[in-house]
Amino acid sequence: MGRKSVIETERLILRPWRPSDAESCFEYASNPLIGQGAGWPPHIGIENTKQVIRDFLMNPDTYAITLKGDDRAIGSIGLRIGFALFGEIAPEEAEIGYWIGEPYWGQGLIPEAARALIEYAFTDLNISKLWCGYFETNLKSARVSEKLGFKYEYTTPPTDPESPARVVTALLRSEAA
C-alpha cells in the first residue's frame, strides 16, 4: 500500500513531526528520565530540540504522538527500516522505537500507538520482522515489548561502564496478532 502520513487509533493521532513541535517536544525531552531510558541526553534548549526534530524526527515512518483533539506532540514513535541502533538487520526488517512524556506514562498510550505502527509495518510496508531494543534497566520498555508480543533474542553488552546492557527482542509478521 505504501507510506502513511497519519495513523489514527482510538485515542491517538500519529502524524509527521513539524518544526512547530519544538516547544512541546522540549517540554518532555528535557526531562532526564525520558532520554536516559532511550539512550540519549536530555534536550538542553529549544535550539537543540529543533535540531533533533530536523535531523532525526522529520523522517519517513517517524511520528509525533498526539492525543485526539489536541495536536500537541507528547511523544514519538517510529520505524528504522533496514537499520537498527543495535546492529545490522535485513532490508525487509525494521526497528521500532518510541518514547512518551512522563505525564502520560502508565496510560497504555505507547502500546496503543505501537500496535497501530506494527500493523502498518507488516501490512502496508511488508516488513517481515520487527526488532525492539531497550536498556535492561528500562522496565517500562521491557513491559511494552512483552505486551506487544516481542520475544527475547539476545542481550548486547554495555558499550561503556556507564551504560546498561541492551536487550533485543523481535516480532515476526507471522506471529503478530
Domain boundaries, the chain: 7-128
Q: What is the pLDDT of residues 62-73, one digit of tens each?
A: 999 999 999 999
Cβ partners under 8 Å of residue 5, min gap 6: 15, 16
What average pLDDT does this structure show over 114-118?
97
43-61 b/e (C-beta count within 10 Å ≥ 16 → b)? beeeebbbebbeeebeeeb
Q: What is the pTM of this model?
A: 0.93
Name the nearest CA neighbour of 53 among 3, 16, 79. 16
Strand runs labelled E in 39-160 = 62-67, 73-81, 93-100, 129-135, 151-156
Q: Is 166 helix (H, G, I), strand (E, B) or coil?
A: strand
Q: Are 53 and 22 in contact (CB under 8 A)?
A: yes
Please, which residues bridge with residue 155 across strands?
167
What confidence score (pLDDT) does residue 160 get?
82
The confidence band for 2, taking pLDDT boundaries of 50, 70 and 90, is: low
Rg (CA), the chain: 15
The grid coordinates listed for 106 are 502508565
Handedness of CA 113, 115, 117, 119 (dihedral sign): negative
Q: What is the pLDDT of residues 65-97, one digit of tens each?
A: 999 999 999 999 999 998 777 777 889 999 999
What confidence score (pLDDT) does residue 177 get?
64
Q: Which fold has domain 7-128?
A: Aminopeptidase (3.40.630)
Q: What is the pLDDT of residues 28-41, one digit of tens each?
A: 999 988 887 777 78
The confidence band for 148, taking pLDDT boundaries of 50, 70 and 90, is: very high
Q: Is pLDDT of 136 > 70?
A: yes
Q: Is pLDDT of 47 > 90?
A: yes
What whole-number distance in Å separates Cα of residue 57 and Cα of residue 149? 26
